[in-house]
Amino acid sequence: MTQGNAGQWSAVVLGGGDPGDPFAAAHGVPVKALIPVAGEPMALHVLRALRESGRVARVAYVGPTVPAMNALLDERVTDHGTLLSNLEAGVEALAASGLAPGERVLVVTADIPLVTAAQLAQVLDTAPREAGLVYPVVRRSDCERAFPGVKRTYARLRDDTFTGGNVFILDPRLVGQFLPRLREVLAARKAPLKLAGLIGPGILLRLLTRRLTVRELEERVSVILGVPARALVTPHAAIGADVDKEDDLRLAEAHLGRSSSPQS
């Protein structure tokens, strides 16, 4: 069987967070991933989609859980406090219990309750196999068609205007190689001169003037991180529709409520 066939993937779900998060506190839960959406923790919607995709054999969950989630988990991992530390801990937990030679890992944030099993299956089935890191992106037009009025951060490239997804695929053998560089990039994101130095002034100028292509961005990210990186353009807006604020929560409630309503 090849990677992408049923049950051939392992997944890390990132459900940790700041214990002082006011959004979570306002809903009476310790972290955002446990905020109820359509009567269930938003993380439970994500876990169910993974299991029903027919592609995921094992799931490591990083962060606090509730009993309803536990039957869908293979590994429970303590929240390490930051996104990248949680990513590393989740991958290590899967590796410790055994990953097949050449197996790649799907990483999903726990705050995309609108994602479906079919969408996750399609992403896994179409992901480039030669890349060490695959990052799905969604066109702005697809986001606005699926969720009118949704507010996202977009990057305007020469090919189109995109937002980032909340899933990615990685080669677990390369995590130790690219995480230090990724930490450096994230640390510089609020220091424009330092960020420009990391990205390169020519690439930054092309990005700002909308002359940068997806392929050029892939090549630069590959150089920065030291691993072959590829973007995967997906039409599935739910992959980019994370729940970060009350407006997002209302949107998710409305769409999940609509999808569960009896059909006339």
- Asked whether the predicted pLDDT for residue 203 surpasses 80, the reply is no
Specify the pLDDT at position 263: 40
Question: Please, which pLDDT band fits residue 3 given cuts at 50, 70 and 90?
Answer: very low
Res. 6: pLDDT tops 60? no
Q: Greater confidence, 85 or 20?
A: 85
- Assess if CATH 3.90.1150.10 describes domain 9-258: no
Residue 256 has pLDDT above 70, yes or no: yes
Select, from the ranges 14-23, 110-119, 189-198, the one with the highest average predicted confidence (pLDDT): 110-119
Question: Is the pLDDT reported for residue 102 higher than 90?
Answer: no
| Interval 84-91 mean pLDDT | 94
**Would you place residue 19 in the very low, low, confident or very high pLDDT band (cuts 50, 70, 90)?**
confident
pLDDT for residue 260 is more than 70: no
Residue 229 and residue 219 in contact, taking contact as beta carbons nearer than 8 Å: no
231, HSE (Cβ side, Cα atoms, 13 Å) = 21
Strand partners, 133: 170, 229
Average pLDDT of the chain is 89
Is the pLDDT confidence value at 129 over 50?
yes
The per-residue pLDDT for range 108-127, each reduced to its tens digit, is: 999 999 999 999 999 999 99
Residue 195 has a pLDDT of 65
Mean pLDDT on 195-200: 72
Q: Is the pLDDT of residue 35 over 70?
A: yes
